[in-house]
Amino acid sequence: MGPAGPVARATGSARFAHLRVRSTFSLRDATMTPERLAAAAAEAGMTHVALTDRDGLSGAVRFVRAAAEVGVTPVVGVDLAVAAPHTQGAAHARVSASADDAPRVTFLARGPRGFATLCRAVSAAHAQARGAPLLDEEAIDAAASSGDVIVLHGVDSPVGRLLAQGRPDAAAAELDRWRDRFGTADTVLGVRDHRVAPGGRRVHGRPDPGEPGDDVRIARTLALARRSGVPAVAVNDVRHERPEDVVVADVLRCMRLGVPLDDRHLGRTNSAAWFTDPVEQARRFHERPDLVVAAADLAERCAAPFALGGVHAPRLTGRDPDQAAAALVARSRAGLVRRLGDPGEEAAARLDRELAAIDAEGLHDLFLAVADVVEDVHAAGILVACRGSAAGSLVCFALGISDVDPVANGLAFERFMNPYRDELPDIDLDVESHRREEVYDLVIARYGEHRVATVGMFETLQARSAVRGVGAALGLPPEEVDHVARQLPRLRARDVRRAMDRLPELAGSRLDADRLGTLLDLVARVDGMPRHLAMHPCGILLGDDALLDRTPVQRSAHGYPVSQFDKDDVAALGMLKLDVLGVRMLSAMRHCLDLVNGITRCDDEPRVPTRRADDADVPGWDEGSFALDMVAHDEPATYDLIRSTHSVGMFQIESPGQRELLGRLQPTRFGDLVAEISLFRPGPMRADMVTPYVARRHGEEEVHVAHPALAPVLAETFGVIVYHEQVMGVLSALTGCDAAEADLLRRRLGDVDGQRIVGRLVRERARERGFPRDVVEEVFADVASFAAFGFCKAHAAAFAVPTERSAFLKAHLFPEFMAGLIAHDPGMYPRRLIVEECRLFGVPVLGPDVQRSGRDADVVVLAADEADARLGLDAARRALAAGEDPLPHLPAGWTWPTGAPAPLPPTGRDAGRRPDGSRWAVRLGLTEVAELSREERDRIVAVRPLTHVTELRDRVGVGRDGALALVGAGALDGLAGIGAPGRPRDRRELRLLVEEAWSAAGRRRGRRATSSAVAQVALLLPLEEVPVGLPVQPSGAVVREELRTTGIDLSAHVVSFYAPLLAALGVVDASRFRDVPTGERVRVAGVRVALQSPPQRSGDRVLFLTLDDRTGQVQVTFFARALPDCAWVVRGAELVVAEGVVTRRGRRGATLIGRRAWDLTRLWRAWQDGALTQALAERGTPAPHVVALRASGSVRAGASPQQPQQGQQGRGRG
């Protein structure tokens, strides 16, 4: 629409502004977004418009921003429930059963002070009761004394209701109560004309005798206005933009109230509550045009509620600025000495420069406050790490906030805090994930509830929840709605309609096309609307005493104060935010430290330290308890382990791709990890920055730096630009600008326009500074292309700290670290692979034991005999003792170097053997038994020792499913004395006994079944006992039960059951794979533990498959040409046999280039049937039952047989 549009219409009609409007942030009530409201007001020619959501101000920031963009003055208000007059003062006054019945009053902010009043009032209303906010008398008094608000009494206000009841005197008295507090000028009556008939519904639905009709209502309201001398204004109580949108408002409201659509539930008799324009509004009030104009006049009395942009540095510590500055200087200097000893000139000068910048911004308090928080967190024994660009600050390092020395690592302060940029620096802290709320408690304890709030986050209506909600509102049969909902993948509701066409499964729905159409149309229209306010997973607002003037807060389910503003809102308001992220790796490390130091938490059974400083042989640990800050950079054994690529479990560097890169890069120091983390991202990988980097690092390619002036910047990465800091350094060298300006230039390189502008500037200044033209062109082309890929070195360095520490723990405290990984599951792999990793390092893993296990995994010492039996080494030992060659008796992958006292595990690294021949072992916790409830588990720990299995039933109250799960997991083996004379022979027999003993106790439904993919493999295990040369080979049934109950194949690796077939197929073990000559064609086999399809420079699809076969992992790469034959199996099967050619990149990375792939379970069945040759000849095509399904039309048409279909084969039998 043209610019003349609104102006022309505005001048041609009455002035009007809507003063009561709800948006989507009224949460399932109204249909306009705040942005749309602002735009609609502009289109209707209004100069002002108000947003008055029910119970909150969450839409306010985006509304104000959108209004500014369209040139409309925003008025911010809120619609709050108040106690009904007749319950006031009554001792039994309680919240109405339906909050929607409560009378409501609208408050409009007249300016910033009024906005503060609104914030306080909203917070006070929510403090009353969660879910049913209500403003009590005390809060109304507080709002009145704080002031600067206009109180608008509409149809649903206490005054409006008394008028409807025909009690004009009571209404006048009630109005007086408000007027006495807020003043005559700020007390307003709202008049609305929806043309509601006397009795409400007269034709459709049941009449309401309490409804006087709009004519009477208006007459009574205007009479009261005359009598009280209070102004009246025309309003329309807007809930939707156009009349026809009322259907969406109806659905939202019924979803919120949890009721089906029905006249009684709509809270309306007609669809008049739309966003009427001034013309329509004047038509409705043609007898009293002054009421329409009065609304516009009232809006003009309200000024903007807050300013956007700019920053607000709160005085967190309560010190005055000079004191705070002095404290920061003193603490930073002392901290630097503590960190570095004599800091030296460079660091001292850098510290002063940073302190000056902080001083200029007045941010002393921020740094002091974060340092205090970090100290508190440390003191509480919670691991904390700084992430992000804050690691570039020496002040942060000195204050103990970050653990990376930015001077030694070349990290730029300006990347963190740029004096030219008008925004508060972000400081992000990582803490142990399972103790994040404790950190919130610490912050709140230090600063007080009135100065801390968590950032809000809106959960929105998404496809599945929207289908269920709309379906229920429409009164569709729940099972049919559920059927539709379950067919939908997690996608946005507006994509649902399109998805329906692609999901023929929905054809099975018994809903007719019309109803399905209605359902899906409505779902699409409620898509993405905010549903309710939740706590952001990491953001914490820090403020001073004025915090609650700037944001309304409500309570989370766990009782934490939550801002009604989301992270974008608080950024726009310039509020200070501290991000506290829960990181599972830190929890895993904490678990490791607790085991090492013998720290007991949450009333688990007392632990004793597993190690002592004097005999632990851990570098850097000389006395006392072990702590992570004892981990020095560049510790040789740590990097030796990293270079071996046995990095499963290490933070950030455990994925197959990372392991391949580690093999090529061969890190020797902390800086290499920083580079590794920076290079392993989609941009650099796609641009293949890795190849020149690796080649230059190993001296295979000449290091090329375009100009000597750039050498200091680029030397550390051999002339390849890897980091943002280097882009800044290069720009600075070319132009002579300082780091802060270089950072601004770098930020502009993100788009083509910016590149052109910066390019012109750089060329100009570089020419003045005497750089040759061709050098400038070459360097700038590099800078421009890598600006997009480059990574902030401070980010990478901050990440690399936990990476190096986790690697250190794995290298020196292996069993404790692995127990931590099993307990907190931080990585990308299933836990069964972590258990497998233990075995590969010579550490046996014991199953859960109802008598001995803690809640989570812990570490024990096994005598040599038992350890050997657990690892399957006893046969080899016996052979050695008998003077035979032990090698043929060793488990797969193990070796026995000549003369060595013990055999060597498949990785060639023995982390289990202790000097006295005993072994470290990891024992799983009771938590691993999925079907055992938390309460059952805790009672077991409290009640034991147990003397008989039935005590679980009688003393602990374990249910039948829990007991059977314990049997399956082997947790009762010890208690039941399995195998001992007169005791159950095996778990099958014990299971029968338990079933009998619990049969009286009644059956309960399982709580959570193990759903891991590999558990499904369990169903495919060969059931017969297959001798594979181990002395005691558990049956397939035992392992199947273990996988079902714990998700971990404890007694034997899944693959071991297929050993005879693998031998027949000539499959190479993973541990031997690295010795196979390049170019040889071999077969490998194993459990699929990872499958990735990263973007390639060529754009081709490539699959990276990782197989685990009990001797280690093998990488198999399937390039595009192999995919037609293989992708279907690789994606679908859990157990895979792959055939291909060995290739090598770099020093370690032997990989199989896959040509063929088979499902191992399919080959097994074929083998049993004597049809192995035919099965091996099958290529690519889906299994016969899938072909049959497709022929019958029930699998989607159009997919060529060459295209992989996901998982039908594995799941088809599951």
Partner 1 sequence: MKRYRELLDEVECDGEAPVAFRWRGQQHRVLQVLGHWHEDAGWWRRSGGAVLAVERTDLWRVEVTTGAGRGIHELVRRGDGWRLDRVWD
* Residue in 214, 372, 837, 858 binding partner 1, rule: CB under 8 A: 214
By the 10 Å C-beta count (0-12 exposed, 13-18 middle, 19+ buried), 346 is classed as exposed
Half-sphere exposure in the Cβ direction for 369 (13 Å, CA): 28
* Residue in 70, 142, 170, 197 binding partner 1, rule: CB under 8 A: 197
- The binding track of 498-517 with respect to partner 1, each residue x by CB under 8 A or -, is ----------------xx-x
**Closer residue to partner 1, CB minimum distance, 469 or 656:** 469
**1213 CA to centre of own chain:** 33
- Closest contact distance (angstroms) between CB of 471 and partner 1 is 12
- Closest contact distance (angstroms) between CB of 61 and partner 1 is 32
Give DSSP secondary structure letters for 584-621: HHHHHHHHHHHHHHT---TTPPP---S--HHHH--TT-
- The binding track of 397-416 with respect to partner 1, each residue x by CB under 8 A or -, is --------------------
By CB under 8 A, tell whether 469 contacts partner 1.
no
Nearest to residue 1146, comparing CAs of 804, 751, 788, 643?
643
- Closest contact distance (angstroms) between CB of 203 and partner 1 is 5
Nearest to residue 1178, comparing CAs of 1157, 1160, 1202?
1157
* Strand boundaries in 391-504, DSSP class E: 427-432, 452-460
Kindly indicate which of the ranges 47-55, 257-265, 322-330, 1148-1156 contains the residues binding partner 1, using the contact rule CB under 8 A. Answer: 257-265
Q: Are 248 and 232 in contact (CB under 8 A)?
A: no
**Closer residue to partner 1, CB minimum distance, 466 or 1142:** 466
Nearest to residue 1060, comparing CAs of 1019, 1038, 1029?
1029
* Residue in 261, 279, 705, 744 binding partner 1, rule: CB under 8 A: 261
- Closest contact distance (angstroms) between CB of 487 and partner 1 is 22
Q: Which residues are CB-contacts of 20 (< 8 A; sequence separation ≥ 6)?
A: 50, 52, 79, 106, 152, 154, 190, 235, 236, 237, 238
By CB under 8 A, tell whether 522 contacts partner 1.
yes
Question: Pairing between strand 530-542 and 576-583?
Answer: antiparallel
| Percent helix, percent strand, percent coil in the chain, to nearest 5 | 50, 15, 40
By CB under 8 A, tell whether 205 contacts partner 1.
yes
- Closest contact distance (angstroms) between CB of 198 and partner 1 is 8
Helix boundaries (H) for 884-945? 934-943
By CB under 8 A, tell whether 258 contacts partner 1.
no
**Closer residue to partner 1, CB minimum distance, 268 or 1053:** 268
* Residue in 521, 866, 910, 1178 binding partner 1, rule: CB under 8 A: 521
Q: What is the Cα–Cα distance from 1035 to 1022, expressed in whole angstroms?
A: 9
Question: Pairing between strand 858-862 and 1135-1145?
Answer: unpaired
* Strand boundaries in 376-423, DSSP class E: 384-387
By the 10 Å C-beta count (0-12 exposed, 13-18 middle, 19+ buried), 566 is classed as buried
* Residue in 69, 215, 449, 884 binding partner 1, rule: CB under 8 A: 215
By CB under 8 A, tell whether 269 contacts partner 1.
yes
Kindly indicate which of the ranges 173-181, 264-272, 410-418, 849-857 contains the residues binding partner 1, using the contact rule CB under 8 A. Answer: 264-272
By CB under 8 A, tell whether 263 contacts partner 1.
yes
By CB under 8 A, tell whether 480 contacts partner 1.
no
Kindly indicate which of the ranges 25-33, 203-211, 690-698, 970-978 contains the residues binding partner 1, using the contact rule CB under 8 A. Answer: 203-211
Eight-class DSSP state of 413? S
- Closest contact distance (angstroms) between CB of 201 and partner 1 is 6
* Residue in 244, 738, 935, 1100 binding partner 1, rule: CB under 8 A: 244
* Residue in 47, 128, 270, 1143 binding partner 1, rule: CB under 8 A: 270
The owner of tokens 């009135």 is 450
Q: What is the Cα–Cα distance from 1210 to 1159, expressed in whole angstroms?
A: 9
By CB under 8 A, tell whether 209 contacts partner 1.
no
Kindly indicate which of the ranges 70-78, 193-201, 478-486, 903-911 contains the residues binding partner 1, using the contact rule CB under 8 A. Answer: 193-201
Nearest to residue 547, comparing CAs of 443, 441, 429, 401?
443
Which 728-787 residues touch partner 1, going by CB under 8 A? none
- Please give the size of the binding site for partner 1, defined by CB under 8 A: 35
By CB under 8 A, tell whether 1004 contacts partner 1.
no
By CB under 8 A, tell whether 5 contacts partner 1.
no
By CB under 8 A, tell whether 360 contacts partner 1.
no
By CB under 8 A, tell whether 935 contacts partner 1.
no
Kindly indicate which of the ranges 246-254, 440-448, 1077-1085, 1142-1150 contains the residues binding partner 1, using the contact rule CB under 8 A. Answer: 246-254
- The binding track of 639-658 with respect to partner 1, each residue x by CB under 8 A or -, is --------------------
Q: Which residues are CB-contacts of 152 (< 8 A; sequence separation ≥ 6)?
A: 19, 20, 52, 77, 105, 106, 107, 108, 188, 189, 190, 233, 235
Q: What is the Cα–Cα distance from 926 to 1107, expressed in whole angstroms?
A: 28
- Closest contact distance (angstroms) between CB of 255 and partner 1 is 13
By CB under 8 A, tell whether 1005 contacts partner 1.
no
By CB under 8 A, tell whether 1076 contacts partner 1.
no
**Closer residue to partner 1, CB minimum distance, 476 or 618:** 476
- The binding track of 893-912 with respect to partner 1, each residue x by CB under 8 A or -, is --------------------
Q: Taking the CB of residue 653, how many other CB atoms lie within 10 A of it?
A: 26
Q: Are 336 and 347 in contact (CB under 8 A)?
A: yes
- Closest contact distance (angstroms) between CB of 234 and partner 1 is 17
**Closer residue to partner 1, CB minimum distance, 466 or 797:** 466
- Closest contact distance (angstroms) between CB of 250 and partner 1 is 8
Kindly indicate which of the ranges 55-63, 243-251, 595-603, 883-891 contains the residues binding partner 1, using the contact rule CB under 8 A. Answer: 243-251
By CB under 8 A, tell whether 203 contacts partner 1.
yes
Enter the tokens of residue 874.
């006893």
Kindly indicate which of the ranges 266-274, 298-306, 787-795, 854-862 contains the residues binding partner 1, using the contact rule CB under 8 A. Answer: 266-274
Nearest to residue 1113, comparing CAs of 752, 654, 598, 711?
654
Enter the tokens of residue 860.
């024990």
Nearest to residue 320, comparing CAs of 355, 357, 365?
365
- Closest contact distance (angstroms) between CB of 521 and partner 1 is 6
Enter the tokens of residue 173.
């008295």
* Residue in 201, 567, 1072, 1155 binding partner 1, rule: CB under 8 A: 201
**Closer residue to partner 1, CB minimum distance, 274 or 680:** 274
By CB under 8 A, tell whether 202 contacts partner 1.
yes
Question: Pairing between strand 384-387 and 561-566?
Answer: unpaired
Measure the N-to-C terminal CA separation of the chain; round to a whole number of Å: 59
* Residue in 460, 509, 518, 1143 binding partner 1, rule: CB under 8 A: 518
**158 CA to centre of own chain:** 44
Kindly indicate which of the ranges 172-180, 267-275, 331-339, 977-985 contains the residues binding partner 1, using the contact rule CB under 8 A. Answer: 267-275
Q: What is the Cα–Cα distance from 707 to 776, expressed in whole angstroms?
A: 9
Q: What is the Cα–Cα distance from 857 to 246, expressed in whole angstroms?
A: 57
Kindly indicate which of the ranges 46-54, 83-91, 201-209, 894-902 contains the residues binding partner 1, using the contact rule CB under 8 A. Answer: 201-209
Kindly indicate which of the ranges 259-267, 306-314, 658-666, 1088-1096 contains the residues binding partner 1, using the contact rule CB under 8 A. Answer: 259-267
Residue ranges in contact with partner 1 by CB under 8 A = 194-198, 200-205, 213-215, 243-244, 246-247, 250, 261-263, 268-272, 474-475, 514-515, 517-518, 521-522
